[in-house]
Structure 1
Amino acid sequence: MKILHLSDTHSAHHRLKNLPDADIVVHSGDFCMVGEEREAMDFLYWFCDLPYRHKIFICGNHDSCLYDANIDGLDSNVHYLCNSGIEIEGMKFYGVPMFTEDCISDRQTHHYAKIPADTDVLITHSPAYGILDFDDNINYGSEEILMKLSDLHLKAHLFGHIHRQHGIIGQNGTIFSNGAIMNEDYSALSTPDIIEL
């Protein structure tokens, strides 16, 4: 299975041309810039039209207009994961968004705790602490995700959020992909990550 991983496009998705072939495209949040509904709708029209067999997305901290939203009318091959999962071709995907409203309460902790033990591909907006999360001499990743990883046997963890750490690494049999393709000053897009599972 080949996965095209995008994150942190910040309303610049129309600038992405000639995306590589893959079986599944995953966007791990921050498709909006300021969190307005018109931005989200523009992204969804673009995303739903992409020529991939399956399309999965979650929300990031810039996508606040979708907090508590009930997203209806998506094509059957487009999957919005909000503390939920889906199985595709025997692979179990689970997505946890990053809404500010949850992060300033204890709800985000509960969401991370509920990640199923049999998850194959975890999609979060935040990285785990110490994994592709370093910027300005600080590790910005989640310690809660890092602790949860020890209970899981993931094939891949897909995330974004930290623009300077775009890339892929492997650790202990798990592929970690920071798909944040917008650079730190929001002036250019990097090449999306491709993950083979």
Structure 2
Amino acid sequence: MRLISISDTHNKHKDLDIPKGDFLIHCGDFTEGGSRSETLDFLEWFSKQPHKHKILIGGNHDFFLEKYQHNLEEYIPNNIHYLNDKGITLENIKIWGSPYTPGNGHWAFNLERGRAIRKRWNLIPQNIDILVTHTPPYGILDESQTYKNIGCEELLKQIVDIKPTLHLFGHVHDDFGKKNIGPTLFVNSAVMDNKMRLINAISTIDL
């Protein structure tokens, strides 16, 4: 079974050459300004991709999803699984998705480090196979050229506890790649570099 993971496409989704696979997962920041028109354009494109299972979470740029998070049924096509602190089981694979990133609250799905964001990670069940977040965990594929490690410390603590098989994320354009640590494969799926160029490869994982 092949899983395709992308993140941080920032309105450039139509310029991507998406490989074939069973799952297509977007780890957030599919818009730049988070407007309604950007969001609907992406959702239309995403829904037309041929992959059997399409999974989506928001990111810190995706303001429309946050603003209308209690009324999204009319916007998100039925063949897209949108996960906001929510889980789903597909092909006997348990998946959990959450859009939150640590920050000062000026961005979408942004919570202060410590107790505020820890409440979100505490919702993640113990028995999941794949975790999809926008932020990386602290110290793992999270090095920004400007701020060094910007991942979430509280998320790292939760991952150490629950030990998912696969953790997919994006957010940090400078640290694209894959890393095996213990039982978990970590994948930063950001397709853009820090100059917003589509030069990173699309992440492919065979399950």
TM-score in terms of structure 1 length: 0.93
CA distance in 1 between counterparts of 2:24 and 2:62 reads 18
List gaps (5 residues or longer) in structure 2.
102-106
Partner residue, 2:104: none
Partner residue, 2:73: 72
CA distance in 2 between counterparts of 1:188 and 1:156 reads 24
Provide, for residues 86-120 of structure 1, a one-character-per-residue CA deviation record: whole Å limited to 9, x for no partner.
00011000001126354148543211111011111
Provide, for residues 98-148 of structure 1, a one-character-per-residue CA deviation record: whole Å limited to 9, x for no partner.
263541485432111110111110000000001000122611100011000
Letter of the 2:124 counterpart: I
Equivalent of 2:98 in 85, 89, 96: 96
CA distance in 2 between counterparts of 1:46 and 1:194 reads 20
Partner residue, 2:143: 134
Partner residue, 2:124: 115
| % identical aligned pairs | 37
CA-based RMSD of the aligned residues comes to 1.6
Letter of the 1:117 counterpart: Q
Equivalent of 1:172 in 170, 175, 182: 182
Q: Secondary structure at the match of 1:50?
A: coil
Are positions 1:84 and 2:71 aligned together? no
CA distance in 2 between counterparts of 1:181 and 1:65 reads 22
CA drift of 1:191 comes to 1.6
CA drift of 1:172 comes to 0.6
List gaps (5 residues or longer) in structure 1.
none
CA drift of 1:25 comes to 0.4
CA drift of 1:75 comes to 4.5
CA distance in 2 between counterparts of 1:76 and 1:39 reads 19
**Relative to 1, partners in 2 of residues 1:164 and 1:26: Cα closer, same or farther, differing over 3 Å?**
same
TM-score in terms of structure 2 length: 0.89
Q: Does the 8 Å CA contact 2:191/2:199 hold for their aligned counterparts?
A: yes
Q: How many residues align?
A: 196
